[in-house]
Amino acid sequence: MGRFHDRQFPGESAAYRKAREELLDAEIALRKRIEDVAALRRGLPPGGELKEDYVFEEGAADSSDQQTVKSVRFSELFEKGKDSLIIYSFMYGTDWNNPCPMCVSLLDSLNGNAPHVQQRVNLAVVARAPIQKIRSWASQRGWKNLRLLSSRNNTYNTDYFAENAEDDQMPPINVFRKTNGGIYHFYNSELLYVPTEKGQHMRHVDLIWPLWSLFDLTPDGRGTDWLPGLSYD
């Protein structure tokens, strides 16, 4: 009989159960800490007002139609009754042949969850590349649930730190909140910009990227060298 429950798995030793219960202590503390951090995040005061009502390029909802392009303003990304907007910055530069494999891995997962997410909040993905290139890649990956936008004709990327003066692309998440007084910045995954401790990856979006959490459950963990690829032999 354990301290936390009465389950005992076939063949487990007393040493295993002791170590597992020590891990349960840590997992319980981690779960609480995640909730505590989420509460701190929710308690942030409003950030700065949106710098401008950016105009993005958006492709047709049907990704097979690569020629239809329309303009959409930032303010139009908020659907009626949904006052929060999550934007992921997709690392795909104007002249890049292929996008960032890490971003593609994350978006593969996010595409599946998008219909659930969009029941409560607005969700968009923005990249610097022309919308035709973005939609072409989306078609290859089967991304039918993501709202994909091009920022090639505005300064959103640089204003909200998804691009620097050397045109290097970065993959932050930004969250915005619409109020009666305007649209305000609420959150940026700023761990992306913080120097990492030895042995740590920047890991600023782990909470929305199930790949790493699955690896963390295994004896080998996430490893030190492996990173997602665009394809695998």
- Mind listing the domains of the chain with CATH numbers? 14-43+191-216 (no CATH), 55-184 (3.40.30.10)
* pTM of the predicted model as reported, rounded to 2 decimal places: 0.91
Among 44, 123, 49, 41, CA closest to 90: 123
Using one digit for the tens of pLDDT, what is the confidence trace for 37-94?
999 999 999 999 999 999 999 986 454 555 678 999 999 999 999 999 999 999 999 9
Q: What confidence score (pLDDT) does residue 1 get?
A: 65
Q: What confidence score (pLDDT) does residue 206 get?
A: 87
Please list the ranges in the chain whose pLDDT falls under 50.
61, 63
DSSP conformational letter for 64: T
Strand partners, 86: 123, 175
**Using N-to-C axis directions, what is the helix angle for 131-141 and 101-117, rounded to 10°?**
80
Using one digit for the tens of pLDDT, what is the confidence trace for 208-218?
999 999 999 99
Dist. CA 139–CA 200, nearest whole Å: 34
Burial of 63 (0-12, 13-18, 19+ CB in 10 A): buried
Q: What confidence score (pLDDT) does residue 180 get?
A: 94
Burial of 1 (0-12, 13-18, 19+ CB in 10 A): exposed
